[in-house]
C-alpha cells in the first residue's frame, strides 16, 4: 500500500513570512497540527507544528491582554523564526509500513510527502494511517476478533482459513503477530459475524489453542537486545 493512495493531497500550507497567529488560525480552522512551509514553486522548505506555536507563545493567546512589550515580541514572530527547516519527508512510493516505522523512530505525527525535487505532493499523518488501516482490517463492519496460538511453521495459516471458510464465515482481515512463547505465533482473524461458536469448536478440534485477544499485550513480548 503506497503512501500516495492514503495521503492527504489537498495540503494546507503556509509561507515563511506569515505570522505565527496566521499559522495558528489555519491550524484551528482546519483542525490540523502540522503546516508544511513552502516556497512559491511549492518546494518544501520547512514545517511548523502546533507544539512549535505553543512553545513560541507559552503565556499568551489571541485573547490574552499581556504587556505591550511581550505582545509586540510575539507579533513580530514569523513562521520562518520557529519552523523546522529541511524537515524529514517521505516519498509517494513509500509504503504505509515505511511511514509507521519512520514515525515510531523519529517520534513525529506526520510527514510531508514530496517528489524527487522536494515538491510537496501531500501529507501523511497518524490520522491518515489510522483511516487506511481501519479500511484494510475491515473493522468498520460488525464482527468478532479471535486470537489463535499456533506453531511458527508453514501451513498453519491455510488450516485456519480453511476451517473458517468451511463454516461459511467471511473474514474481514487476518493478522499474525509475535508471541512471547518461543516458536509460537499469535494469529488474529477478524470474522464478520458474532456467531463464532462453531468456528471456535472446529479450530480447537484441529488442535489450535484459542486465547482471549485482550490478554495479548506488547509488554509480554521478549525485549529486543
CATH number at residue 50: 3.10.580.10
Are 162 and 90 within one domain?
no
Predicted local distance difference test score (pLDDT) of residue 164 = 95
Are 114 and 186 within one domain?
no
Q: What is the mean pLDDT of residues 132-145?
A: 86
Domain C-terminal end among 134, 164, 194 = 134
All three cell numbers of 71, joined, read 505582545
Q: Which residues constitute the domain of residue 48?
A: 3-134
State the total domains in the chain: 2
Are 71 and 173 within one domain?
no
Angle at 49 between CA 48 and CA 55, to 5 degrees: 100
Predicted local distance difference test score (pLDDT) of residue 75 = 75
Q: What is the mean pLDDT of residues 174-196?
A: 89
Q: What is the mean pLDDT of residues 180-184?
A: 84
Non-local (6+) Cβ contacts of 131 within 8 A are 6
Instruction: Report residue 1's pLDDT band, with 50, 70 and 90 as the boundaries.
Output: confident
Predicted local distance difference test score (pLDDT) of residue 93 = 95
On whether residue 168 sits in a domain, the answer given is: yes
With a threshold of 0.85, does the pTM exceed it?
Answer: no
Question: At residue 217, does pLDDT exceed 80?
Answer: no
On whether residue 21 sits in a domain, the answer given is: yes
Predicted local distance difference test score (pLDDT) of residue 180 = 79
Greater confidence (35 vs 177) lies with 35
Question: At residue 62, does pLDDT exceed 60?
Answer: no
pLDDT in tens, 63-106: 555 566 666 777 788 999 999 999 999 999 999 999 999 999 99
Are 89 and 14 within one domain?
yes
- Give the helix ranges, DSSP H, for the chain: 3-6, 20-30, 50-56, 68-76, 79-82, 96-106, 126-137, 156-166, 197-205
Predicted local distance difference test score (pLDDT) of residue 141 = 85
Q: What are phi and psi of 195, to 5 degrees?
A: -95, 85
On whether residue 225 sits in a domain, the answer given is: no
* Chain mean pLDDT for the chain: 88
On whether residue 58 sits in a domain, the answer given is: yes
Amino acid at each position: 500500500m503506497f503512501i500516495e493512495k492514503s495521503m492527504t493531497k489537498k495540503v494546507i500550507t503556509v509561507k515563511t513570512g506569515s505570522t505565527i497567529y496566521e499559522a495558528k488560525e489555519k491550524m484551528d480552522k482546519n483542525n490540523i497540527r502540522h503546516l508544511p512551509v513552502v516556497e512559491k514553486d511549492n518546494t518544501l522548505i520547512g514545517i511548523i507544528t502546533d507544539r512549535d506555536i505553543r512553545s513560541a507563545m507559552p503565556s499568551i493567546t489571541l485573547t490574552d491582554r499581556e504587556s505591550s512589550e511581550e505582545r509586540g515580541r510575539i507579533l513580530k514572530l514569523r513562521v520562518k523564526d520557529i519552523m523546522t527547516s529541511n524537515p524529514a519527508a517521505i516519498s509517494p512510493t513509500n509504503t504505509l509500513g515505511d511511514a509507521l516505522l519512520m514515525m515510531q523512530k523519529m517520534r513525529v505525527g506526520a510527514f510531508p510527502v514530496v517528489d524527487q525535487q522536494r515538491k510537496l505532493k501531500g501529507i501523511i499523518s497518524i490520522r491518515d494511517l489510522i483511516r487506511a488501516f481501519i479500511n484494510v482490517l475491515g473493522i468498520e463492519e460488525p464482527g468478532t476478533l479471535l486470537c489463535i496460538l499456533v506453531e511458527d511453521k508453514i501451513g498453519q495459516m491455510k488450516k485456519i482459513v480453511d476451517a473458517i471458510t468451511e463454516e461459511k464465515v467471511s473474514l474481514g482481515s487476518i493478522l499474525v503477530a509475535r508471541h512471547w512463547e518461543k516458536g509460537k505465533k499469535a494469529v488474529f482473524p477478524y470474522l464478520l459475524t458474532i456467531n463464532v461458536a462453531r468456528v471456535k469448536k472446529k479450530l480447537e478440534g484441529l488442535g489450535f489453542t484459542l486465547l482471549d485477544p485482550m490478554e495479548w499485550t506488547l509488554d509480554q513480548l521478549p525485549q529486543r537486545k
